[in-house]
Amino acid sequence: MSSPTATSATSSTPRNSPARVVLASLVGTTIEFYDFYVYATAAVLVFPHLFFPTGNETTALLASFATFGAAMLARPIGAIFFGHLGDRLGRKTTLVASLMTMGIATFLIGVLPTHAQIGPWAAVLLLVMRLVQGFAIGGEWSGAALVATENAPKGKRAWYGTFPQLGAPIGFIIANMLFYGINVALADPETPGIASEAFLSWGWRIPFLFSAVMVIVGLWVRLKLVESSSFERAKETGKVTKLPLAVAFKDHWRALILGTFAMLATYVLFYLMTSYTLTFGTRPGLVAAEKVANAAGVEFDAAAYVPGLGYSYNDFILMLVFGVVFFAIFTLVSGPLADRFGRRKTLIWVTVAIAAFGFLFVPMLGGGTTLVMFFLALGFTLMGLTFGPMGAFLPEMFPTNVRYTGSAVAYNVSSILGAALAPIIAVWLWGLADGSPVYVGLYLTGAAVLTLVSLILTPETKDVDMDA
């Protein structure tokens, strides 16, 4: 068996106070996800216009989403690099390095010249910064999860493991409410929509520049951490390996594969509920799009246009934030459930629910505001219930000497299969069905089936010894 022997639930004696563990694991992932969401929002609202002005809205959107997905390709590389550092040098040093890398890349996006200023090089520089973002986040999550779980009291690892996961909804809310505030402040009352001249000129840069402040706070918290006794004991007993990646692939390949597919439905759901719904919700319907084109004196090609729900950005982002509140609440709820009933059993039932949820895309996304909001609340509830236990589940699948590398590689390779392709596949399926989300929902159901198979084949990790 590739996972550590399930001998006892006893973890090492925590060397950091509970408050320090919670804050250090939460603040870093909040910043990392904030940076990612800022980019995701700009990929819908800004980048198609300023960095990919192709003349075709759908093509520009696909190009923008391609850079969004490109970061996922860099994440496994970051997982290998930072995983090696984390298993060789320790969790604290690696977490500081990944946070600084992410912060610098995000800040630089905020000062990039646009296509109007330097032509195609603008898109190239944006892609480079996006790849650096992906590289950094490849090492962030696993380190934060290890800080939480390796310092958790007996019987509460899943509960502690939910705090780095909580950074996802908190980062989303901060990023999108900041964009919302900027949009309201800079809105032109005579121009419909949010893309005012001031917003496209400089307003969109503020959230990227603001990340520098958040990184400083995160570094201050993380520099106060002390290494977990699990890692210190591994060093004292000579269990630290020189090549953790090689050991992980040689001795724990089955855990790597199962862990990767265990995250698949989580990732697909995650990006469909954020990037895809924002695009679908704010894209005008056929009638509205034709009116806009006629008013601008542009010939409208109804056959090539993919319609959406037609909400304004400001309205729909508030609807999304409403849904993400459920994401946060049920991320925390999932921890005690996984501690009581086990990670595997909890995740199996939630994954079955996600598979069923895929069949609700058509009736709920086209049924008026009330049904759309219920759809968002339900989807994000499932997101919290599946994402929360992963903070403990993936690290528990690997022994101490390869835990950072193993959990990081599984988590981030899954990002390619789930997150990197999800926005692009969703837009393609959306167009294939002439604006209906039916195939997008079935895509989520298919991903959930693959995850369900993986979970059935994975042993329960609730009682593994984290010192092994």
Distances (CA, A) of 94 to 84, 173, 259, 263, 381: 9, 26, 22, 23, 32
**Residue 189 or 454, more confident:** 454
Residue at 215: amino acid letter: V
**Residue 433 or 124, more confident:** 124
CA–CA gap between residue 175 and residue 180 (Å, rounded): 9
pLDDT tens column, 137-169: 888 888 888 888 888 888 899 999 999 999 999
**Residue 183 or 15, more confident:** 183
Long-range CB contacts (within 8 A, 24+) of 345-352: 345/460, 346/385, 346/389, 347/262, 347/386, 347/389, 347/393, 347/455, 348/452, 348/455, 348/456, 350/382, 350/385, 350/386, 351/265, 351/386, 351/448, 351/451, 351/452, 351/455, 352/448, 352/452
Mean pLDDT of the chain: 83
Report pLDDT for 303: 54
Share of the chain above pLDDT 70, in %: 84
CA–CA gap between residue 70 and residue 103 (Å, rounded): 18
Tell me the backbone φ, ψ of residue 442, rounded to 5 degrees: -65, -30
Buried b (16+ CB within 10 A) or exposed e, 194-228: bbbeebbeebbbbbbebbeebbeebbebbeebebb
Q: What's the full length of the chain, in residues? A: 468
Report pLDDT for 7: 42
Confidence of residue 50 (pLDDT cuts 50, 70, 90): confident
Say yes or no to pLDDT of 218 above 60: yes
Q: Contact at 8 Å (CB) between 445 and 358?
A: yes
> Residue 14 gets which letter from DSSP?
P
Tokens, residue 318: 């508030």
Report pLDDT for 388: 95
Say yes or no to pLDDT of 238 above 70: no
pLDDT tens column, 178-207: 888 888 888 766 555 545 778 878 888 999
Q: Is 410 helix (H, G, I), strand (E, B) or coil?
A: helix
Confidence of residue 10 (pLDDT cuts 50, 70, 90): very low
CA–CA gap between residue 370 and residue 144 (Å, rounded): 37
Report pLDDT for 448: 97
Distances (CA, A) of 188 to 88, 182, 326: 54, 12, 32
Tokens, residue 305: 């246009």
Q: Contact at 8 Å (CB) between 36 and 172?
A: no
Looking up tokens 């969004």 gives 68
Q: Which residues contact 96 (CB under 8 A, 6 or more apart)?
A: 219, 222, 223
Report pLDDT for 306: 61
Domains and CATH numbers, the chain: 18-457 (1.20.1250.20)
Say yes or no to pLDDT of 380 above 90: yes
Longest dimension (CA), the chain: 74
* Average confidence (pLDDT) over 198-218: 86
CA 65 to chain centre: 14
Q: What is the dihedral of CA 421, 271, 264, 139, to 10 degrees?
A: 90
Say yes or no to pLDDT of 39 above 70: yes
> Helix axis angle, 157-186 relative to 18-45, nearest 10°?
40
Q: What is the dihedral of CA 320, 421, 441, 364, to 10 degrees?
A: 20
Report pLDDT for 446: 96
pLDDT tens column, 55-97: 656 666 667 767 777 777 888 898 899 888 888 877 778 888 8
CA–CA gap between residue 199 and residue 186 (Å, rounded): 6
Say yes or no to pLDDT of 8 above 60: no
Confidence of residue 54 (pLDDT cuts 50, 70, 90): low
Confidence of residue 298 (pLDDT cuts 50, 70, 90): low
Distances (CA, A) of 116 to 3, 54, 193, 375: 53, 12, 22, 39
* Average confidence (pLDDT) over 327-351: 96
Report pLDDT for 32: 76
Q: Is 336 helix (H, G, I), strand (E, B) or coil?
A: helix
* Average confidence (pLDDT) over 392-418: 90
**Residue 373 or 426, more confident:** 373
Confidence of residue 416 (pLDDT cuts 50, 70, 90): confident
Supply the Cα-derived Rg of the chain in whole angstroms.
22
Report pLDDT for 116: 87
Report pLDDT for 9: 39
CA–CA gap between residue 298 and residue 290 (Å, rounded): 9
Q: What is the dihedral of CA 425, 416, 92, 128, to 10 degrees?
A: -80
The CB density around residue 232, as the number of other CB atoms within 10 Å, is 14
Closest residue by Cα to residue 182 from 157, 155, 200: 200
Range with lowest mean pLDDT among 295-299, 404-408, 456-460: 295-299
> Residue 366 gets which letter from DSSP?
T
Confidence of residue 346 (pLDDT cuts 50, 70, 90): very high
pLDDT tens column, 87-107: 887 777 888 888 888 888 889
Q: What is the dihedral of CA 357, 433, 272, 43, to 10 degrees?
A: -170
CA–CA gap between residue 343 and residue 9 (Å, rounded): 13
CA 216 to chain centre: 22
Say yes or no to pLDDT of 275 above 50: yes
Tokens, residue 315: 């309205």
Closest residue by Cα to residue 183 from 315, 281, 36: 315
Residue at 111: amino acid letter: V
Share of the chain above pLDDT 90, in %: 32
